[in-house]
Amino acid sequence: MITPERKIVEAILLLADEPVPARLIGEVLERPKVEVEAILAGLAEEYAGDDRGFVLREAGGGWRLYSDPECAPWLERFVRGHRHTRLTGAALEVLAIVAYRGPVSRAQIAEIRGVDSDGVVKTLLQRELIVPAGRDGGSAAPLLFVVSDRFLERMGLRNANELPPLREFMPDAESVEEMEAKLSPNA
């Protein structure tokens, strides 16, 4: 039987893009680490026993879901044949932030979204939809990002200034003002 805690642990593991320490999951669940470790070990055993397409392993200081190594030949075929996957909602949010506010740092993106966005930024970099645009200051300053020429080409734009005003996409004036304030380069 799936308990609410097990369900939440599964959801966290699906959302995470890197190994999640049992301690962190325990903090989220407000449960002792030892209890969370038992849940994780039980899930790992259950998944292995059910011969699923994924496995749960402890690696890199935390727990993470991985595709079952036995599925590798089919996954390789899938990846080679389906390179044009859709962007997630999080990726679209980050892309909009970079497009309307760029150049922008990872920290600024996270501040606007209210959640760490490093994994999403990495994905957008890999897909060549955003590119580094230098640093705001010296070599120790954070890296800034802007939309790429590839993004502009796909959108049919010469530059980011040709993006439509946010007002066209917002349901009411109050939302527009809030979003423009967040995305304004002077914010």
Which tokens go with 97? 């932030």
- Is the pLDDT score of 1 beyond 90? no
When comparing pLDDT for 80 and 59, which is higher?
A: 59
Per-residue pLDDT, averaged over 65-83, amounts to: 82
Instruction: Note whether 53 and 66 are within 8 A (CB).
Output: no
Who's near 101: CB < 8 A, 6+ residues apart?
108, 112, 183, 184, 185, 187
- The partner residues of 59 in beta bridges, in order of sequence, read 62
Q: Which of these ranges, 3-12, 34-43, 86-95, has the smallest mean pLDDT?
A: 86-95
Angle at 104 between CA 97 and CA 139, to 5 degrees: 160
In this prediction the pTM is 0.49
Instruction: Note whether 167 and 176 are within 8 A (CB).
Output: yes
Q: What is the pLDDT of residues 118-154, one digit of tens each?
A: 889 999 999 889 999 888 777 777 889 999 988 888 7
pLDDT-derived band at 42 (thresholds 50, 70, 90) equals: very high
Domains identified in the chain and CATH numbers: 4-71 (1.10.10.10), 89-183 (1.10.10.10)
Which pLDDT value is given to residue 59? Answer: 84
Cα(164)–Cα(162) distance, rounded to whole angstroms? 6
Which pLDDT value is given to residue 27? Answer: 95
Who's near 29: CB < 8 A, 6+ residues apart?
5, 8, 9, 36
Burial environment of residue 146 by CB neighbours within 10 A (0 to 12, 13 to 18, 19 or more): buried
Which pLDDT value is given to residue 171? Answer: 65
- Is the pLDDT score of 114 beyond 70? yes
Which pLDDT value is given to residue 157? Answer: 77
- The partner residues of 58 in beta bridges, in order of sequence, read 63
